[in-house]
A and B are shown apart, each in its own frame.
Chain A
Amino acid sequence: MTEALKLTDLSKTFPVGRTLLGRSTGSVKAVHPVTLSVRQGETLGIVGESGCGKSTLARMLVGLLEPTTGTIEIEGDALDNADPAEFGKRIQYVFQDPISSLNPRKTIRQVMEAPLKRLHRMPAAQRRTRISEIFDSVNLREEFLDRYPHEFSGGQAQRIGIARALAANARILILDEPVSALDVSVQAQVLNLLADLRTKFDLTYLFISHDLAVVEAVSDRIAVLYFGSVVELGPAEEVFANPRHPYTKLLAESAPVVGRPLAAPEAAGTELPDPLNPPPGCAFAARCPRATERCRVETPVLEPLGDASEAACFHPLGD
């Protein structure tokens, strides 16, 4: 199977603080070197809590942020010049907040025409037919095209956001929390639409969310991010059912599930490490019930664990 997207040692470090001369006084590693590959037609789910670097990673993939180190390969070609217009034809982004991702002073037609005009230099007549085709595939009526964004509900606006990404003709979509701003009954509509589009146009998805149940329901594989690193990667049906990394287990046990009694799975008050002053070794060690001396000194890397799963842990569960 071909690889749609391949990241090698991709990382991002942000400078923090500034002296009078503009030199930075410190740095925060938002994303530690990540090596991942996504197969053509696959949905890779990325879960993690706020501050784990999932949005930074996503923005690098579409060229909105320049990576500090590492390379991105899209459908076999290296794309590391951080030029959104070059990326735009191959990989597109669907934003979390559907309303604020649409310019309030442009009609939907103007929004939809931009990628066709700028990325593909399509003549006017062709644009018209292409837009109707796309609108039809996301179940939106064509009369919406001449309205302004504020006239739409969240669910409709998110369909427009998806339609815009499709208009660029990209085959890889980065979905950054695409349903978390939507009501539950609308969430399901959008998730089903995404699933239909994937089969129809043979799309590859990177689905980023903090909602474990949603990610599990849509993904083939899931990567769990903690403090800027991938700590576990495995098939969707396995990751939360049989977690290998203690952090994944904590996540799975924290999710509220009907029929499971309420119990905080860890002591109160545990928090993420300070990003300005990261601990040596495994970032999860301070919260981990299985941590040993080695975990506090050495940083574990993502390693295959026999079956299809990989985990960055010296003492994985289920061994």
Chain B
Amino acid sequence: MIAFLSLLARNRLALAGGIVLSAVVLLALVTPLLPLADPDVTNTSNRFVPPFSEGALLGTDHLGRDLLSRLLWGTRLSLAVGFAAAIVAATIGAAIGIIAGYYGGRTDNVIMRGVDMLMAFPYILLALAIVAALGPGLFNALIAVAAVNVPFFARNIRGITVGIAHKEFVDAARLAGLSNTRIILSEILPNVIPVIVIAMSTTIGWMILETAGLSFLGLGSQPPQADLGSMLGEARSALITNPHTSVVPGIMILVIVMSINLLGDGVRDALDPRLKSGALSRPMAATQVKRAGPVPAPTGKGLLEVQALETQFHVKDRIYRAVGGVDLHVEKGECLGIIGESGSGKSVTALSIMGLVSSPPGVITGGAAHYDGEDLIGAPYRRLRDMRGRNVSYIFQDPLATLHPLYRVGDQLIEAIRAHRPIGKEAGRAKAVELLDAVRIPNAAKRITDYPHEMSGGMRQRVGIAMALANDPDIIIADEPTTALDVTVQAQVLTILDDLRRSRGLAIIFITHDFGVVAQLCDRVAVMYAGRIVEEGRTTDILDTPRHPYTARLMACVPELGGGKRRLEAIAGLPPVVDRLPQGCAFADRCLKVQDDCRQGDIPLVRSGARAVRCLYPEEKAREAAE
């Protein structure tokens, strides 16, 4: 709640709206206590007294009634009707929406078609019809305004409810023996309430306007009772001769509706989880670079050389050191595996190379990535954009999320080519077919007109690979490209990648958590833990004789096919959170061999020949930890 209020207060306009609205509401609440003239007493000898006159601060109207008094009493009434209508509409609409969304099927169909029919009438016509049927009067106007707004709430809430009703926790509640009513009240409603509040805060101003509209037409409050709409209506005939009688209620309506809408927008922004996570704030085109130390000079190792790369996420006052000084390189035609658990920094390392980490909150704070002698970190955006896809391309885990759902895959491939060089329609098509053939999509000429949803997961990932190949890059960075695929499809996709790198001399950086995949595909492997490489070397060496205790333990806790039923060697505890990294070795708390000096100072990555290990007490040659 306090977080919500402080978030709301950061929005200046919303804060201003809130202050104005509270003032108006307060004024309306204390109206009966103020020394005001009776709002309904006529005094025709004092008609149309201008504002700021003696005894009538805002003047009088066509019957000589005190405008200030009528304004305050009228505001009181209009606010009350508006809020009441909003609450009635929200309650009934939400109830309808939740029932339709939760039960689905025929119930949903019948209810929603009824709601659609209500929506098919222009709202003012519907309101007029309701008032005509019930007779004029403020209470009937309230009913009309509420009824007209019910469909809006019903539709909104139904949509949200459908999403929630299919969540696993609802199934779990059912299995725990909860009845449908209880599930609606205790599982669904608490998750829907924020949406109801958002919808209410954005519509309440509208409802006050609608009530005023009906009163203006003489269908709402009846004379002599004042509300803002009827004041406007009665002043209409004197609009030219005595404009103050219309301006006074008009300004009040403007002030109320503006302040409610500003506050409502603020409430929506503060409550909406998507806005809270910052997902709707546009990231920069390339990751922000703020390197403190000197930029390392290239040593000429490999096609791509990453040196001392540091990437951090700055969230509020916390600093997450996602990548804490990573060195790696990859040669032409080589496949380098990066293995680690979630949060180990393997994906962030890969994304940092081409400036693809979203900023905010990502910041590259140190290091370099030399491609062919050129430092990519801090390169201008135009240069990066030119190189993305053409020199270094990416394959991501979820092809359904990376392909645009509304474009045919062929067109997306052609677009990827066009981003780098002009290509004619026919040539583009031919190239797209050639690419799909290269990733062994059967009947490629026919499938380029498919939409992504028409393809299976394996086929989509092949399109993802084809797109990465579109501009003949030298390096492909594949971030868990087969994790979402079934084993038989995974085997096919891995074979395609392996063939491509042999036939085209591609360098591949392959990110995964699966030792089996690494063993089959990668020449070298780097093991990451808590943002740093803890061990690196040739794949066969590392798999045969892991030297870092983490590598050994991690291998031991993964079951391997053919091992039969057995107890696994679990690693106790959790990886450290990267905003509070311990001194010394990050694995110390989970390590069985930990010594006092493991928790002090920086432990360097010690290189000997092709291997490197970041451990003071590495495993001996035999796989003692694994056994």
Chain A: residues with CB nearer than 8 A to chain B? 22, 49-50, 59, 62-64, 84-85, 87-89, 92-93, 95-97, 100-106, 111, 114-115, 118-119, 153, 155, 161, 164, 168, 183-189, 191-192, 195, 210, 212-214, 216-220, 236-237, 240-241, 250-266, 268-269, 271-272
Q: How close is B626's CB to chain A, nearest CB, in angstroms?
A: 11
Give residues 537-568 of B contacting A (CB, 8 Å). Answer: 543, 553-554, 557-568
Q: Which residue of B lies closest to A260 (CB)?
A: B520
Contacts of B191 in A (CB 8 A): 103-105
Given contacts A254-B490, A256-B490, contact A118 B341 (CB under 8 A): no
12 example contacts (A-B, Cβ-Cβ < 8 A) are as follows A63-B175, A85-B178, A102-B169, A103-B190, A103-B191, A106-B186, A115-B176, A189-B572, A236-B564, A240-B561, A252-B561, A253-B491
Best-buried of B175, B516, B543, B554 by chain A (most CB within 10 Å): B175
Are A255 and B442 in contact (CB-based, < 8 A)? no
Sample of 18 further A-B pairs with CB below 8 A, known A185-B341, A256-B517: A95-B171, A95-B172, A96-B168, A103-B187, A106-B186, A183-B513, A185-B553, A185-B554, A188-B571, A216-B559, A254-B488, A256-B487, A256-B490, A260-B520, A265-B488, A266-B488, A269-B492, A271-B459
Choice from B489, B492, B563 contacting A217 with Cβ under 8 Å: B563
Contacts of A236 in B (CB 8 A): 564-565
Q: How close is B400's CB to chain A, nearest CB, in angstroms?
A: 12
Q: Which residue of B lies closest to A185 (CB)?
A: B571
B77 at interface, CB cutoff 8 A:
no
B381 at interface, CB cutoff 8 A:
no
B521 at interface, CB cutoff 8 A:
yes
A102 to B514, CA, bound (A): 28
Given contacts A114-B173, A168-B176, A258-B543, contact A265 B491 (CB under 8 A): yes
Q: Which residue of A lies closest to B539 (CB)?
A: A258
A251 to B562, CA, bound (A): 13
Are A153 and B517 in contact (CB-based, < 8 A)? no
A167 to B298, CA, bound (A): 60
Q: How close is A177's CB to chain B, nearest CB, in angstroms?
A: 12
Are A188 and B176 in contact (CB-based, < 8 A)? no
Are A168 and B175 in contact (CB-based, < 8 A)? yes
Are B177 and A184 in contact (CB-based, < 8 A)? no
Q: How close is A86's CB to chain B, nearest CB, in angstroms?
A: 9
Are A262 and B520 in contact (CB-based, < 8 A)? yes
Q: How close is B543's CB to chain A, nearest CB, in angstroms?
A: 6
Are B175 and A213 in contact (CB-based, < 8 A)? no
Q: How close is B134's CB to chain A, nearest CB, in angstroms?
A: 36
Q: How close is A23's CB to chain B, nearest CB, in angstroms?
A: 13
Are B568 and A192 in contact (CB-based, < 8 A)? yes
Q: Which residue of A lies closest to B171 (CB)?
A: A64
Choice from A103, A114, A271 contacting B456 with Cβ under 8 Å: A271
Contacts of A252 in B (CB 8 A): 561
Q: Which residue of B lies closest to A62 (CB)?
A: B175
Contacts of B572 in A (CB 8 A): 189
Are B568 and A191 in contact (CB-based, < 8 A)? yes
Interface residue tally on B, bucketed by range: 35 or more
Contacts of B172 in A (CB 8 A): 93, 95, 101-102, 111, 161, 164
Q: Which residue of B lies closest to A64 (CB)?
A: B171
Give residues 1-18 of B contacting A (CB, 8 Å). Answer: none
Are B491 and A219 in contact (CB-based, < 8 A)? no
Choice from B106, B342, B440 contacting A269 with Cβ under 8 Å: B440
A189 to B456, CA, bound (A): 33
Given contacts A95-B171, A216-B559, contact A118 B568 (CB under 8 A): no
Stretch from B222-230, B390-398, B494-502 at the A interface: B494-502
Choice from A111, A153, A250, A268 contacting B442 with Cβ under 8 Å: A268
Give residues 445-488 of B contacting A (CB, 8 Å). Answer: 456-459, 486-488
Contacts of A97 in B (CB 8 A): 168
Q: Which residue of A lies closest to B342 (CB)?
A: A183
A111 to B168, CA, bound (A): 13
Choice from A93, A195, A241 contacting B171 with Cβ under 8 Å: A93
Choice from B179, B342, B496, B521 contacting A268 with Cβ under 8 Å: B496
Q: How close is A206's CB to chain B, nearest CB, in angstroms?
A: 14
Contacts of A259 in B (CB 8 A): 519, 543
Given contacts A87-B175, A183-B513, A188-B569, contact A240 B574 (CB under 8 A): no
Are A256 and B516 in contact (CB-based, < 8 A)? yes
B198 at interface, CB cutoff 8 A:
no
Give the 5 A-B CB pairs with smallest separation, nearest first.
A256-B516, A118-B177, A188-B570, A49-B486, A188-B557
Contacts of B567 in A (CB 8 A): 192, 195
Q: How close is B98's CB to chain A, nearest CB, in angstroms?
A: 15
B281 at interface, CB cutoff 8 A:
no
B301 at interface, CB cutoff 8 A:
no
Contacts of A210 in B (CB 8 A): 486-487
Contacts of A106 in B (CB 8 A): 186-187, 190
A205 to B240, CA, bound (A): 84
Best-buried of B169, B173, B543 by chain A (most CB within 10 Å): B169
A272 to B457, CA, bound (A): 11
A50 to B114, CA, bound (A): 39
Scan B497-515; emit 1 where CB is below 8 A from any A CB, else 0: 0100000000000000111
Contacts of B574 in A (CB 8 A): 153, 155, 186
Choice from B169, B173, B553, B559 contacting A100 with Cβ under 8 Å: B169
Q: Which residue of A lies closest to B189 (CB)?
A: A105
B109 at interface, CB cutoff 8 A:
yes
Contacts of A269 in B (CB 8 A): 440-442, 492
Q: How close is B440's CB to chain A, nearest CB, in angstroms?
A: 4
Contacts of A105 in B (CB 8 A): 190-191
Q: How close is B565's CB to chain A, nearest CB, in angstroms?
A: 6
A219 to B564, CA, bound (A): 9
Contacts of A87 in B (CB 8 A): 175
A152 to B304, CA, bound (A): 38
Are B571 and A258 in contact (CB-based, < 8 A)? no
Are B495 and A264 in contact (CB-based, < 8 A)? yes
Are A95 and B513 in contact (CB-based, < 8 A)? no
Are B169 and A103 in contact (CB-based, < 8 A)? yes
Are B175 and A217 in contact (CB-based, < 8 A)? no
Choice from A183, A189, A251 contacting B488 with Cβ under 8 Å: A251
Q: Which residue of A lies closest to B492 (CB)?
A: A264
B276 at interface, CB cutoff 8 A:
no
A205 to B176, CA, bound (A): 18
Q: How close is A167's CB to chain B, nearest CB, in angstroms?
A: 8
Contacts of B520 in A (CB 8 A): 256, 260-262
Are B486 and A22 in contact (CB-based, < 8 A)? no
A262 to B519, CA, bound (A): 9
B404 at interface, CB cutoff 8 A:
no
Scan B160-188; emit 1 where CB is below 8 A from any A CB, else 0: 00000001110111111111001000110
Are B491 and A256 in contact (CB-based, < 8 A)? yes
Given contacts A95-B168, A103-B187, contact A262 B568 (CB under 8 A): no
Are A241 and B562 in contact (CB-based, < 8 A)? yes
Contacts of A263 in B (CB 8 A): 491, 495
Q: Which residue of A lies closest to B519 (CB)?
A: A258
